[in-house]
Amino acid sequence: MISFTSLLIHINTATMTYGIINLKGGNEASITNFTNAGTIDQFARIRIKVLLKEEGKETTDESIFQYCQEWLETLIENSDGETTFTMADVPDQAADNIVYSNALYCQIEGVGKKAIVTQLTPVQSKEMYDAIVKKLSDVISKFSPVCTE
């Protein structure tokens, strides 16, 4: 079994970045390193853009708003009928899914071919969650200010 608390891996990286641990099965894993993500906030914004690109969408605020609308539709479709969802619920729901259900995120420290890869701590995960909520909330308020009140 792979221990992610202190995985030593060969990777070209700057001083500190963030990435995603990709499990390959058995004892193998790879890292997707986001070299432009020097802070949790930058990583959160890049992660949103990557998710949009994976869905074949542009990385504009309009596309992020459309992503939020799709999240709202999904929440409503999957609700128990008693729970009501509005656009104001989307940032928390989406961020929770992205941060806690979607991937294993990591911090990468080191220079050159060897780097120490550490799974995000609960505090770092919460910071990423908060950054995603803020970004999605900002976009929603830009396009639909009534929804965030």
Task: Give CA–CA dist 144/149, Å, rounded.
Answer: 10
For residue 148, is pLDDT > 90? no
pLDDT at residue number 146:
56
Mean pLDDT of 66-94: 92
Query: Within a domain: residue 115?
Result: yes
Widest CA span of the chain, in angstroms?
Answer: 54
Residue with tokens 């050159």: 112
Reading phi first (left if > 0) and then psi (alpha if -120 to 50, else beta), residue 26 is in left
Query: Within a domain: residue 148?
Result: no
How many domains does one find in the chain? 1
Task: Give CA–CA dist 90/64, Å, rounded.
Answer: 12
Query: Within a domain: residue 1?
Result: no
Task: For the chain, report the end-to-end CA distance as a whole number of angstroms.
Answer: 47
Domain span at residue 44 reads: 7-143
What pTM, to 2 d.p., does this model score? 0.83
**pLDDT tens, 111-130?**
556 778 899 999 999 999 99
Query: Within a domain: residue 149?
Result: no
Query: Within a domain: residue 2?
Result: no
Query: Within a domain: residue 84?
Result: yes
**pLDDT tens, 53-73?**
999 999 999 999 999 999 999
